[in-house]
Structure 1
Amino acid sequence: MTHPTSSIRLHGFPISGHCHRVQLMLSLLGLPFDSVTVDLPAGAHKQPAFLARNVFGQVPVLEDGGLTLADSNAILVYLALTYDASRRWLPASPAVQAEVQRWLSVAAGPLAYGPAAARVAVLFGRPDNPAARTAAVQLFTTMEQHLEGRDWLATDHPTLADVAIYSYTAHAPEGAVSLAPYPRLRGWLARVQALPGFVGMVASPVPPALA
């Protein structure tokens, strides 16, 4: 979904879950944007032109008019506060905001070092990472328990928490982490996928053991 006349540009990489969560948020909000692919295999994210946008040399980067913003979770917060007048995605309640922040921390911690890291090892042919798969199982087991009697992660409706956690959870099988043992988790993924405006991330091959 790209719109050349949009003031919003998303610099990213198609199989990055960090980038997908921003793309998903833009789509859920109905915001047109221009998609710019950063050639990560060629090291474009470490070149001066890109480092001028993000000194850490990471995708995604969002440009909105004169604003340049990096870090996927920070971008989610910005989009919700700027473009969601209803405050559905980041509610005004301090208690709910804190709960959303808790899941943004999970996205930056256990999700990144668990299923996301396991997936990177498989997709890019890096050394086997059993610790990442173990961390993924621990996270998904906790989420399975958390989802008992609830449909969404932070409150009684979808929020940034669900957007931030979705991509790497849904694509965990690409890192040899099965979702079969987690029926509640799979139900939550289906609810996210049923949201108006949902867009999926490009699928990568699932290892033969899980295919």
Structure 2
Amino acid sequence: MNRNFQVNLGYQVVNWRVRMINLYDFELSGSCYKIRLFLNIPGVEYAAESVDFVHKEHKTEKYTALNPFGELPIFEDGDTRLRDAQAILVYLAKKYDRSNQWFPDDAESMGKIMQWLSTGGGEIMNAAGARLVKILDYPLDLAKLQADARRVFKIMDAHLATREWLELGHPTIADIACFPYTALAWQGDIDLAEYPNVRRWLVRFRAMDRFIAMPGVE
């Protein structure tokens, strides 16, 4: 949202238009956590509005007016409003990452990172679905979700056998996109013991500067 402030200098009134970053958030959502985590890395200040996901507040008219898909997170930066965690990560990286390391500008780097953003918002969400079944008793096919999640973790484990990070040899928003629901897989009764390279990657991720945790990811 934008807020207007007026300062009276005695002979004129000056209007300051201040940008306000707002995150519609649910503490236990791995997708919302991606945004909180990445906002913390460059130290971007924001306001968080808690939304009751358990009782489906995000499906009410107030929030579907902001995101017709009825999903979290929802992100606002001044007049810019975005949905989808991966899209928000791209926006934040291009706008607030002065190092340009989290989403570099060259085509090859962008392509390599984007394929993992797709994985983080796609195949890894099978682990998120299994978690919803176990924690909130969602009527989903738990066995299929677990099997599909294990398939993607097996692929990630093979990929990480020869590297420390998903791409480019250093942390990028690819890692941010894939980390939360991998780290939370245990809450969907998915054991990562068979994926040692994934587990080592999780340890490296937690050791990053300015890492913050969420419930279930200590």
In the aligned structure 1, how far is the partner of 2:42 from the partner of 2:134? 32
> Which consecutive unaligned segments of at least 5 residues does structure 1 have?
205-211
* Shift of residue 6, structure 1, vs aligned partner: 8.0
What percent of counterpart residues are identical? 37
2:80 to 67, 81, 91: 67
Q: Secondary structure at the match of 1:181?
A: coil
Paired residue for 1:182?
195
Native 8 Å contact 1:6 1:32 kept in 2: no
Partner of 1:134: 147
Q: TM-score, normalised on structure 1?
A: 0.90
1:127-168 per-residue CA deviation (whole Å, 9 max, x = no partner) reads: 451001101111111111000120000111100100000000
Alignment correspondent of 1:46: 59
Verify the 8 A CA contact 1:101 1:161 in the aligned structure 2.
yes
Looking at structure 2, the residues matched to 34 and 144 of structure 1 have their Cα atoms a distance apart, in angstroms, of 36
Alignment of 1:45-194 (within 5 A): 45-112=58-125, 114-127=126-139, 129-194=142-207
What is the aligned partner in structure 2 of residue 202 from structure 1? 215
Once the two structures are TM-superposed, the CA of residue 15 in structure 1 deviates from its matched residue by 0.9
In structure 2, the residue matched to 1:207 is none
Task: Name which of structure 1's ranges 164-173 and 89-98 shifts more when overlaid on structure 2.
Answer: 89-98
Structure 2: distance between partners of 1:9 and 1:80: 16
RMSD (Å), alpha carbons: 1.6
Q: Verify the 8 A CA contact 1:10 1:36 in the aligned structure 2.
A: yes
Q: TM-score, normalised by structure 2?
A: 0.87
Query: Could you say what secondary structure the match of 1:199 adopts?
Result: coil
Tell me, in whole angstroms, the C-alpha distance in 2 between the residues paired with 1:196 and 1:9.
24
Q: C-alpha displacement at 1:80, in angstroms?
A: 0.3
Alignment-mate amino acid for residue 136 of structure 2: F
One-letter amino acid of the structure 2 residue matched with residue 126 of structure 1: Y
